[in-house]
A and B are shown apart, each in its own frame.
Chain A
């Protein structure tokens, strides 16, 4: 039988606000354990949360960029459960009145994946297993880092759509500056709700939930494996149990965390320590008009106004960091095609080769247009430029300095060129004679020898011209 995989995602994304959601501690990643902590985020007795209003602004921006309705009368609620990474034993979240509702993200097929809601909440800390004592240690640095939980409807069919959706969502969050979406730092994580059903069925199958998967690759693998597990169960005459599972990406297997019967009762109730938050119509409209150009609009502009191919436009707009580099380079060089060639060529190649994420590109964005200018004004040729860019990419050296230091500039001094080429002719008497006897391949050989003698650092056109003259 043919099966269809039905997926809904709950995406957690850490906001890039400077301070935490309910206190003034920094949200910076890393730091020695328990150094980004104060009495409030450590849940000390008697402390109270005070809302960081920037979190509301960021959430509104995310909602507007995903076509959501913005809730004007917001409240927070408490989600109660015991776990050592949660110092208050409750998480302040939004259950009853989430800040954004009824949005959608459009896939390249034109399909709209509906968002049920986006709500604000605080992150928990993390537990670190201590091999020395065999115990676990709690690091509260991440406690109170603001999160958005973005909940999709079960509109996704299969891993490919799910990954495209995540990619689009990630791009929107990056473009709007809401999150840096660094998955390896845990700033974007997803819970996958998945069921399977025979193609053509209208009822959903029983779903399972896989918690907290934190890389796109792992999400893709988890979806494929879980769909297959459910299909195998059904094919063998079994039934899928509604349960929460944990995906172990190293073993490519998922395990049951808890069944429906053990489902936790979070005893949600309105958070009494935080007054309701009003968002005015004016605030919403101000945020709407301040939204930056979003990926879809940018892509259309690249194709229609700059003449990029759809493929190139898609790749470049998939990451705000690539798009920014491209926009900057194209604007200064006035040559979008050449800029796109570089981004699509050397930039992507080196990112891939070094396993670097676009957000981690460390070189000065001015280096790329400078490099293109060096090629255009014949200071270096294309082959050398690639070598220079590799150095720029790796060490953030300035292209001009690198060319100078390594003496890579083309020899453009006419008399110097003539002298070098004359030497080559003198050393290759035989080929000169052959050429003069009418063998045209000999000319190609002499160009090759001349370029070699010049270390490739001469404009090919110039070399050809001088050769012709000297050979008469």
Chain B
């Protein structure tokens, strides 16, 4: 079997047994990436990777295995800071930006001896659902390059699906791990808010952002999640509670699976509905108990999400002012022009749209009507989920209403694009963990994603049920 087709844990076993050398694995991946037509990466860090490979290989040769994934290459979304390695958020604004520090998750994967392959493409500043807003051009869906891979972690999901990386890190603010994982037929976990440190994750919406793994199997996701999760003294919102280590497949008999009727209503493509319900049948066949539940508050999730996310984004992105780092306009005559021109030139359309929206909802006179209302709705949505979890252990539904749309058909109608986040955003608002799992393909051969939502800090349940639901992962291979 070609090296790039191994999932992460089996690859690690080969490396730990001495049957493969890390340098050969890197060679195989970089060769595959070089031939790629999918544009998964914004930059590669070959010199860094081979230097790290030599260090880690020496440890493996000496029998020192620092983690179950030691020696495995990893792709990282280009909004996670890597010391000395360009981190752009796929924006012209941060072209050439080399952070002076590593994100906590990067320190953790380095300590676990994973090897950074490169930085993956994404929607600019994680704003978008298609990876088409990237300043580096769109990433294409490996299952059909005429289609988008989803977003915003489209580069990470596509790289894993196209065997251009065995495993990857993404970030999820309103579905940005789960939706591209669903569109690309791979597994993506959005952890509970606070389960993984955000230190070094370039913020889009601070109260919603979480870093999570994207992999070909739930077991791989679990292995990476176990490495990156946990308390961090540099992130005050992280680690109030600790997530448990996830293991392999678990028995699902007796598991109470809640199926919200609102998730199967108007707008859901029948092929997606059928595949998701078939997955539910597979769970009940293994002894799980399905119950219909109702989450009417979720109807308000999309507007709530866009108000909160845009408000935080407009503030988080104000630091890109042309003064300290990133793009600074060459034609500015004074301070005011430096601000206006640097930002006008540096940011793309979708980012500007969300900055404008955010400034609007925070403006005096509108704050009460929008932002304050959205915070109230957030509490109601959280409560609705907590109530639902009285009656079930996990909630099952689709990741997105359809399979991956064609390139160039989403950005012209942003409202439609926003509405396609309907099943994922509520999970971020409620701060819950959610996982996207492949559950078949539509008539065009595009993957369909299944979503499981869990109680706070019960990632282990999602990963273990995901492993039990295992079907052939959607990787495209060679």
CB distance from A91 to the nearest CB of B (A): 11
B100 near A275: Cβ-Cβ < 8 Å: no
A89 near B206: Cβ-Cβ < 8 Å: no
A48 near B199: Cβ-Cβ < 8 Å: yes
Which of B99, B198, B323 interacts with A48 by CB under 8 Å?
B198
The chain A residue with its CB closest to the CB of B100 is: A39
Instruction: Check A267/B319 contact, CB under 8 A, given A50-B234, A50-B235, A273-B206.
Output: no
Indicate whether B219 reaches chain A with its CB closer than 8 angstroms: no
The stretch of B65-73, B356-364, B415-423, B444-452 in contact with A is B356-364
CB contacts between A and B, total, < 8 Å:
102
Indicate whether B35 reaches chain A with its CB closer than 8 angstroms: no
Indicate whether B339 reaches chain A with its CB closer than 8 angstroms: yes
The answer for the CA separation of A89 and B321 in the assembled complex, in Å, is 8
CB distance from B320 to the nearest CB of A (A): 8
The answer for the CA separation of A268 and B372 in the assembled complex, in Å, is 11
Instruction: Check A51/B323 contact, CB under 8 A, given A44-B101, A45-B81.
Output: no
CB distance from A138 to the nearest CB of B (A): 7
A273 near B236: Cβ-Cβ < 8 Å: yes
A45 near B318: Cβ-Cβ < 8 Å: no
Contact with B along A11-54 (1 / 0, CB 8 A): 00000000000000000000000000001001111111111000
Q: Which of A77-118 contact B (CB under 8 A)?
A: 78, 80, 82, 84, 87-90
Which of A39, A89, A267 interacts with B362 by CB under 8 Å?
A267
B100 near A48: Cβ-Cβ < 8 Å: no
On A, residues with C-beta under 8 Å from B are 39, 42-51, 78, 80, 82, 84, 87-90, 138, 265, 267-270, 272-275
Which of A47, A50, A78, A265 interacts with B364 by CB under 8 Å?
A265
CB distance from B305 to the nearest CB of A (A): 14
Q: Which of B176-223 contact A (CB under 8 A)?
A: 198-203, 205-207
Indicate whether B233 reaches chain A with its CB closer than 8 angstroms: yes
Contact with A along B317-336 (1 / 0, CB 8 A): 01111011100000000010
Indicate whether B311 reaches chain A with its CB closer than 8 angstroms: yes
Closest 9 pairs (CB-CB, A-B): A89-B318, A272-B207, A267-B362, A272-B206, A45-B202, A46-B81, A46-B200, A46-B202, A50-B236
**A-chain residues with CB within 8 Å of residue B202 when the two chains form the complex:** 45-46
CB distance from A83 to the nearest CB of B (A): 9
Instruction: Check A84/B236 contact, CB under 8 A, given A46-B201, A267-B359.
Output: no
Indicate whether B164 reaches chain A with its CB closer than 8 angstroms: no
The answer for the CA separation of A274 and B205 in the assembled complex, in Å, is 13
Q: Which of B108-127 contact A (CB under 8 A)?
A: none
Instruction: Check A267/B315 contact, CB under 8 A, given A44-B99, A84-B335.
Output: yes
The answer for the CA separation of A80 and B359 in the assembled complex, in Å, is 10
Contact with A along B344-362 (1 / 0, CB 8 A): 0000000000000001001
The answer for the CA separation of A49 and B339 in the assembled complex, in Å, is 24
**B-chain residues with CB within 8 Å of residue A274 when the two chains form the complex:** 236-237
A272 near B240: Cβ-Cβ < 8 Å: no
Instruction: Check A48/B311 contact, CB under 8 A, given A82-B321, A269-B371, A272-B207.
Output: no
Q: Which of B349-408 contact A (CB under 8 A)?
A: 359, 362-364, 367, 371, 375
**A-chain residues with CB within 8 Å of residue B157 when the two chains form the complex:** none
Contact with A along B159-171 (1 / 0, CB 8 A): 0000000000000
**B-chain residues with CB within 8 Å of residue A272 when the two chains form the complex:** 205-207, 237, 312
Indicate whether B103 reaches chain A with its CB closer than 8 angstroms: yes
Indicate whether B50 reaches chain A with its CB closer than 8 angstroms: no
Interface size on B, residues (CB 8 A): 46
**A-chain residues with CB within 8 Å of residue B321 when the two chains form the complex:** 82, 84, 89
CB distance from B285 to the nearest CB of A (A): 43
Q: Which of B54-94 contact A (CB under 8 A)?
A: 79-81, 87, 89, 94
**A-chain residues with CB within 8 Å of residue B6 when the two chains form the complex:** none
The answer for the CA separation of A269 and B366 in the assembled complex, in Å, is 12
Indicate whether B97 reaches chain A with its CB closer than 8 angstroms: yes
**A-chain residues with CB within 8 Å of residue B319 when the two chains form the complex:** 43, 45, 87-89
**A-chain residues with CB within 8 Å of residue B101 when the two chains form the complex:** 39, 44, 47
A90 near B318: Cβ-Cβ < 8 Å: yes
Show 20 A/B contacts (Cβ-Cβ < 8 Å), sorted by A.
A39-B99, A44-B100, A44-B101, A46-B79, A46-B80, A46-B201, A47-B101, A47-B199, A48-B236, A80-B318, A82-B321, A82-B339, A89-B318, A89-B319, A90-B318, A265-B364, A267-B363, A268-B362, A272-B206, A275-B240
B318 near A48: Cβ-Cβ < 8 Å: no
B236 near A90: Cβ-Cβ < 8 Å: no
Instruction: Check A269/B324 contact, CB under 8 A, given A45-B97, A46-B201, A48-B235.
Output: no
CB distance from A68 to the nearest CB of B (A): 25
New A-B contacts (16) at CB < 8 Å, excluding given A43-B324, A46-B201, A47-B200: A39-B99, A45-B97, A45-B99, A46-B87, A46-B103, A47-B101, A48-B237, A50-B233, A80-B315, A89-B315, A89-B319, A89-B321, A138-B324, A269-B315, A273-B237, A275-B237
The answer for the CA separation of A80 and B319 in the assembled complex, in Å, is 10
The chain B residue with its CB closest to the CB of A136 is: B335
The chain A residue with its CB closest to the CB of B198 is: A48
Instruction: Check A269/B362 contact, CB under 8 A, given A45-B97, A80-B318, A82-B339.
Output: yes
CB distance from B112 to the nearest CB of A (A): 20
The answer for the CA separation of A45 and B233 in the assembled complex, in Å, is 18
**B-chain residues with CB within 8 Å of residue A267 when the two chains form the complex:** 314-315, 359, 362-364, 367
